[in-house]
Chain A
Amino acid sequence: MGSRNPVTWLGSPTFPRAARETLRDTQLRGNLRHATGTIRAKRADAVSELDDWEQLRRAGEAIKDDVLSNLDTYLVQLEEAVTARGGVVHWARDAAEACSTVLRLSRAAGASEVVKVKSMATAEIELNEALAAGGVSAIETDLAELIVQLGHDRPSHILVPAIHRNRAEIREIFRREMPDVDDSLSDDPRALASAAREYLRRKFLSARVAVSGANFAVSETGSIVVVESEGNGRMCLTLPETLITVMGIEKLLPTWQDLEVFLQLLPRSSTAERMNPYTSVWTGVTPGDGPREFHLVLLDNGRTSTLADTVGRQALRCIRCSACLNVCPVYERTGGQAYGSVYPGPIGAILAPQLGGDMHDPHAASLPYASSLCGACFEVCPVRIDIPEVLVHLRSQAVAAKGRSAESSAMAAASWVFGSHRRYEAAQKAGSLARFLTRDGRLSHLPWPGSKWTDARDAPVPQAESFRAWWRKNRG
């Protein structure tokens, strides 16, 4: 691989460092507290309507595991089916290959502007930046994605990338960045949506090329599925002459029957809806109806190496619903940008470092530690990704990549002490001397690294006698 994988943002500080800044953003804290609290409750209601939710989750897990174990077969089957229906399949090893393919195809179609359906895969490869460098401007048509783009900002949520913005900020962005917008534009959500709608309508009608991602691809027929809420996707998928879809190779489903499971799992987990408003499905090209050219770019970008990790590969089951973000107490407080990747939250903490494939990068290595391992993410995941298990697994990789450090020495020392109950008891006795640091029954100031604890919390008061010493004396 020639270039750096853009799945993590170049120059990102480590998670603790980034979080230190974002935790101070009161607007962000307020927005996320409200938004995630609301969606958490709604998701719980939507899921509780189904008696067979647990079975659906297990079915989703099993279908995706089958796909991952037989990816070679299903991918070739998909390619054959798409080709047979008049589509063209392109294979991209990494972000650079995928971007240059899309740029080449856009230019060949004579486009200086492409409209985009919200897509994580294209955000992961920084397609918009690559197209711009090649003289093609990409217009995001999902409302939240448009807000991020016009604000020259970065996304902070998988489903609602502008979740950190409020309506006053959105109005300012629109007034500054949208040509012809009425300067008296109010911050009423309806007025903001109308302004975006007018702006986008002109783009839909003039664009010759659309770029999308894919939620699913059914390999038996070569059909691609996009689910969305705003109707912008339907516009992009039907109006332009050329449609280019960039899809991660793990997005496959073997059959239409499998799709039934995921069309239940995804909307309830994601937007807490029984069904999403728009589900678009297309197969190759249909003369006289919709795009005349269809290109499918199959993206690896770290997926094959992730697949090689027997514990970590379950991250590839992800259907990008963002339920794990919405329940995560860490995400709720730090926001998404602290993760320094287009994939934030618990899934991002296991997906971004794996796709990036470089645990020597201090930022990537900090991501698996961005969790208290509370397990709320695993509990809601519609495809049962055991995120805490993978986090811990990746922590081992981070430790191995780092080699010797103050922490590894301390851990080795602790392990040596715990390796004998006599050494352990001696250490307990030595530790009880810290009693002399207590004042008025409190221990409020410890030297570094204990200060990381006592900056905000009192430390437990050391005991004169451990339990084991007491037991030996009284019961042994």
Chain B
Amino acid sequence: MSHSSGAPDAALPGSGRRVALFATCLADTLYPDTLRATVRLLERLGCTVDFPHEQTCCGQMHYNTGYREHAATLARRHVAAFTGYDAAIAPSGSCAGMVREVYPGLVGDSEIPERTYELSEFLVDVLGVVDVGAYFPHRVTYHPTCHSLRMLGVGSRPVRLLSAVRGLDLVPLPEAETCCGFGGTFAMKNAETSTAMLSDKMHHVLSTGAEVVSAGDNSCLMHIGGGLSRMRSGVRPLHLADILASTEEAPWAPATR
């Protein structure tokens, strides 16, 4: 934690930026490692990272399932929690997409949507870095999640970031842009159709021979990884942030619990 305290280095791309971690309820509860990785990465790049404790859930699940009023209540809460920061950064395309694309129609005028970024967008567009100094000596394939791709339009940013990681062998994923079948409550309401989509996604992941399947959303990775785990496939789901936070000095290692 050598970068976690003290004065930020003025030469770093994130120096002088005070940013808020938009943790997402899913990662806060189930993937805290990804969030610690996100914080390490942002601090390594010079940002001062804060965690607004008032945040809970952005309301996406309620909104997408048809509970608009509940979603609006949660959205107003979220806006209040993130007011006063230069930027809110989420290691999630769908939660960032919810705030940026849906909030304006849900809660009206606010600066929060335009100040909300998906992680790869913030790194490439705001900090202007592609090589974040990461080291990850593994064979990786990347699944571009639907909302990061089509709602936010992150394009090639995640792949550019991964391509600059030392030691990383990036293998293209066939039919990468096809949905994995998660879709939030879709995976429960239409479980069998979701599973049919998942099986094709897993087939493509396995065809790459990669050790790790990465993505910018833990929700989609929870789905793909849940299937791969059930199959005892030996392929690990790992968030983009976990890979980008890994360095030669402190390489990524599986969590021990």
Give residues in A with beta carbon < 8 Å to B.
15-16, 19-20, 23, 329-330, 333-334, 368-376, 378-379, 392, 394-399, 407-408, 411-412, 414-415, 417-421, 424, 428, 431, 442, 444, 449, 452-453, 455-468, 470-472, 475-476
Contacts and interface: CB of A to CB of B under 8 A. Distances in A.
Nearest 9 interchain pairs by C-beta: A372-B183, A395-B66, A457-B226, A374-B179, A375-B150, A467-B32, A399-B66, A415-B70, A374-B146
Nearest to B77: A419
B66 A463 contact: no
Assign chain B's interface to a size class: 35 or more
Contacts of B182: 372
Contact of A460 (B31, B53, B149): B31
Interface of B: 4, 23, 25, 27-32, 35-36, 51, 53-57, 59, 61-68, 70, 73-74, 77, 146-147, 149-151, 177-179, 181-198, 222-223, 225-227, 229-230, 257
B230 A457 contact: yes
Nearest to A372: B183
A397 B25 CA distance: 26
Contacts, number: 184
Contacts of B191: 16, 452-453, 455-456
A172 to B, nearest CB: 28
A210 to B, nearest CB: 39
A463 B70 contact: no
B184 A373 contact: yes
Contacts of A379: 150
Q: Name B's interface SS.
A: helix
B227 A333 contact: no
B32 A465 contact: yes
A47 B171 CA distance: 28
B230 A444 contact: yes
B32 A376 contact: no
A442 B227 CA distance: 12
Given A376-B146, A458-B225, 9 more contacts: A370-B190, A373-B147, A374-B179, A414-B61, A419-B56, A421-B54, A453-B191, A457-B195, A457-B227
Nearest to B57: A418
A230 B51 CA distance: 63
Given A415-B70, A449-B188, A392 B64 contact: yes
Nearest to B257: A464
A281 B185 CA distance: 47
B220 to A, nearest CB: 10
Contacts of B226: 453, 457-460
A50 B48 CA distance: 46
Nearest to B59: A418
Contacts of B73: 415, 419
Given A330-B193, A376-B179, A453-B188, A392 B63 contact: yes
Contacts of A23: 192-193, 196
Contact of B178 (A329, A408, A417, A464): A329
Contact of B196 (A333, A460, A464): A333
A453 B51 contact: no
7 contacts: A369-B190, A372-B183, A375-B151, A395-B64, A424-B25, A467-B35, A468-B51
Given A460-B30, A475-B51, A452 B65 contact: no
A16 B194 CA distance: 10
A453 B53 CA distance: 30
B197 A372 contact: yes
Contact of B65 (A16, A395, A442, A475): A395
Nearest to B222: A460
B190 A16 contact: yes
Contact of B74 (A369, A378, A415, A444): A415
Contacts of A424: 25, 56-57
Contacts of B55: 421
Nearest to B26: A460
A414 B62 contact: yes
A412 B193 contact: no
Contacts of A420: 56
Nearest to A379: B150
